[in-house]
Each structure stands twice: as C-alpha cells, then as structure tokens.
C-alpha cells in the first residue's frame, strides 16, 4: 500500500514540477523592449512625457513605429509609446538610417544562422545516389 501512496504523491507533484522546470527558460522578451533597445542602439534619445500636454501629444501619434515629423523647422524621427512607458524616442535622419541598417543586418544574421543550422543538419546533406 505504501507504493500506492508514493504514486499518488508523485501524480500530485509531477505537474507542479513540470511547470516549474518549464518556467526556467526565462521570461519572454517583449517586442516593445526589443524596439526600445534597437532605437537606443541607433542613437535615438529617450524622452519622458512628463507633462499632460506631452502625454496627450504622443498618445495622438502612431504608436510604436517611427514617424517623421518637423519640430521648429527641424526634421525629426519619433517613436512613441503613450500607453506603456509614457515615453518617446527622438532621433535624426542619421539615427533612422542607422536603425534601418541595424535591422537589415540583424535579419541577414538570422538568415545566416538559419542556413548554417540547415547546413549542419544531416537531413539536409547531399542525398545518396539512388541510381546505384
């Protein structure tokens, strides 16, 4: 009868253990966080919407995408998050070009990694000669 008790305990604890181990993979990284890192890497400057007027202004803008605008006869590129961090990133044309360049480089790196993973996979190697 003791082994039945052990099986019951194991049946009760197993799902919790599996869920705990599955959680060890780390928290998923949000798209917003990735975008903010990319903007900062390209040289965009983080600004907080520290007044109600600024917050209202960035909430009326397209959210979480780079848009071109003019401020005091100056061309600027702005990325706004009016609901999340209540902040915005401001940059120049050069910052926007650097952001686009970094995104292309990252995409190319992912493709190379994918290709290399396929190249190293034995299933993708040259098929045997079936004509023998």
> Between β-strands 66-71 and 74-81, what pairing exists: parallel, antiparallel or unpaired?
antiparallel
Integer-rounded Cα Rg, in Å, for the chain is 25
Domain boundaries defined on the chain? 31-120
> Tens-of-pLDDT digits for all 132 residues of the chain?
666 656 666 556 555 555 555 554 555 567 888 999 999 999 999 999 999 999 999 999 999 999 999 989 999 999 999 998 999 999 999 999 999 999 999 998 888 878 777 666 666 666 666 665
The whole-model pTM stands at 0.64
Give 85: exposed, middle or buried? Use CB within 10 Å, 0-12, 13-18, 19+.
Answer: middle
Structure tokens, 116:
């290399």
Give 127: exposed, middle or buried? Use CB within 10 Å, 0-12, 13-18, 19+.
Answer: exposed
């Amino acid at each position: 009868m003791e082994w039945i008790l052990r099986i019951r305990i194991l049946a009760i604890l197993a799902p919790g253990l599996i869920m705990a181990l599955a959680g060890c993979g780390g928290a998923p990284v949000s798209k917003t966080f990735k975008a903010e890192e990319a903007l900062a890497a390209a040289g965009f400057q983080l600004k907080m919407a520290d007044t109600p007027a600024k917050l209202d202004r960035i909430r009326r803008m397209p959210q979480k995408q780079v848009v071109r605008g003019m401020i005091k006869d100056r061309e600027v590129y702005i990325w706004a998050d009016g609901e999340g961090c209540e902040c915005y990133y401001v940059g120049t044309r050069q910052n926007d070009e650097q952001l686009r360049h970094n995104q292309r480089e990252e995409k190319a790196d992912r493709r190379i990694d994918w290709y290399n993973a396929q190249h190293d996979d034995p299933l993708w190697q040259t098929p045997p000669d079936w004509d023998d």
